[in-house]
């Protein structure tokens, strides 16, 4: 049991594994659900065929999007059974799938050149459209990814995953090929998003949950919140958004929302909230690493977990 726990903990800490395996499974589940859609509409003229493919793509994309949201929550140790996650994930996924599916079928219905262009390039581009919408939406969940970078990452991941989809559909039996191909699409989306986020990361907040269990989040202009609500780092017993951290003018700043006291951290700084340790890492020379904070910044010892006196927060 101990080995199983250690293995699962290691998987949860591995961001690449989380953001590829879970979206793969979500997309595969979506493919299975879409198989139940009646095919009569697909043989009923142009408009009904477009609607059929739009519904088919929406059914696939909704659980895929939920899986991407869950991957983010699992990596951050957030709450999975949260209606604030379910509704936007499913609605965004269904919309993205419907748009890309309708565009794909509309293009398929006209003569756009050779089979290679029609069945490979156009199909991959349409999956890229779906990925771009999902990447844009997921950028609101992944701290400091940014909507532009999220959209580009989704576009690239969707297009590359679309190529994988075409490959598996053309080489495996129809049902199995669709399921694995769409699963590859989900994995490619997740991988592209975290890769782009990592490439542009300049400062990191690392949550040290245990000896070999960590979560790394990008610090930037969009504040990262620590609290007991719908926060980037969820800690039971804290008020929602109890602490926020961000970078400003090359400095890493933290504010206690209750006392409104503000602290500046340097590279390698650590602090503890609710018995959980955090570490600041700055990889860019433009991030301030001076030893003395400005006079307007209070001592980092002001960080505390209000309402839980036993926490005894520290900073060094």
| pLDDT above 80 (res 45) | no
The full set of domain ranges for the chain reads 2-199, 203-311
Which residue would you say has higher pLDDT here, 118 or 140? 140
Q: Return all residues near 292 (Cβ < 8 A) that are at least 6 apart.
A: none
What's the whole-model pTM score? Answer: 0.81
What is the tens place of the pLDDT at every residue in 257-290? 989 899 999 999 999 999 999 999 987 544 544 4
Model pLDDT, residue 155: 93
The runs of H, that is alpha helices, within the chain are 2-13, 15-34, 46-76, 83-108, 115-116, 122-138, 147-171, 174-199
| pLDDT above 70 (res 83) | yes
C-alpha 250/C-alpha 145 separation (Å) is 18
State the chain's mean pLDDT as an integer. 82
203-311 to CATH, choices 2.60.200.20, 3.40.50.970, 2.40.30.60, 3.40.50.11890: 2.60.200.20
């Amino acid at each position: 049991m101990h080995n199983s726990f250690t293995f699962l903990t290691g998987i949860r800490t591995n961001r690449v594994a989380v953001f590829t395996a879970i979206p793969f499974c979500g997309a595969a589940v979506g493919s299975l659900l879409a198989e139940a859609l009646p095919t009569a509409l697909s043989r009923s003229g142009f408009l009904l065929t477009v609607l059929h493919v739009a519904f088919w793509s929406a059914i696939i994309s909704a659980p895929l999007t939920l899986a991407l949201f869950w991957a983010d929550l699992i990596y951050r140790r957030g709450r999975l059974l949260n209606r604030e996650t379910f509704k936007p994930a499913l609605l965004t996924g269904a919309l993205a799938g419907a748009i890309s599916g309708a565009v794909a079928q509309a293009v398929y219905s006209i003569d756009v050149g050779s089979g290679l262009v029609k069945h490979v390039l156009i199909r991959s581009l349409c999956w890229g459209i779906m990925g771009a919408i999902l990447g844009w939406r997921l950028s609101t969940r992944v701290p400091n990814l940014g909507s532009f970078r999220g959209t580009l990452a989704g576009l690239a991941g969707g297009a590359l995953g679309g190529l994988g989809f075409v490959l598996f559909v053309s080489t495996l039996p129809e049902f199995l090929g669709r399921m694995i191909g769409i699963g590859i699409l989900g994995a490619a989306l997740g991988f592209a998003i975290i890769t782009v986020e990592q490439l542009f990361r300049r400062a990191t907040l690392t949550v040290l949950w245990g000896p070999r269990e960590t979560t790394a989040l990008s610090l930037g202009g969009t504040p990262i919140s620590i609290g007991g609500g719908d926060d980037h780092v969820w800690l039971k017993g804290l008020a929602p958004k109890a602490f926020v951290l961000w970078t400003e003018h090359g400095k890493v700043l933290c504010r206690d929302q209750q006392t409104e006291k503000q602290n500046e951290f340097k590279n390698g700084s650590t602090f503890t909230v609710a018995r959980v340790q955090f570490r600041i890492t700055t990889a860019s020379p433009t991030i301030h690493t001076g030893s003395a904070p400005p006079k307007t910044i209070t001592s980092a010892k002001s960080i505390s977990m209000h309402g839980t006196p036993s926490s005894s927060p520290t900073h060094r």
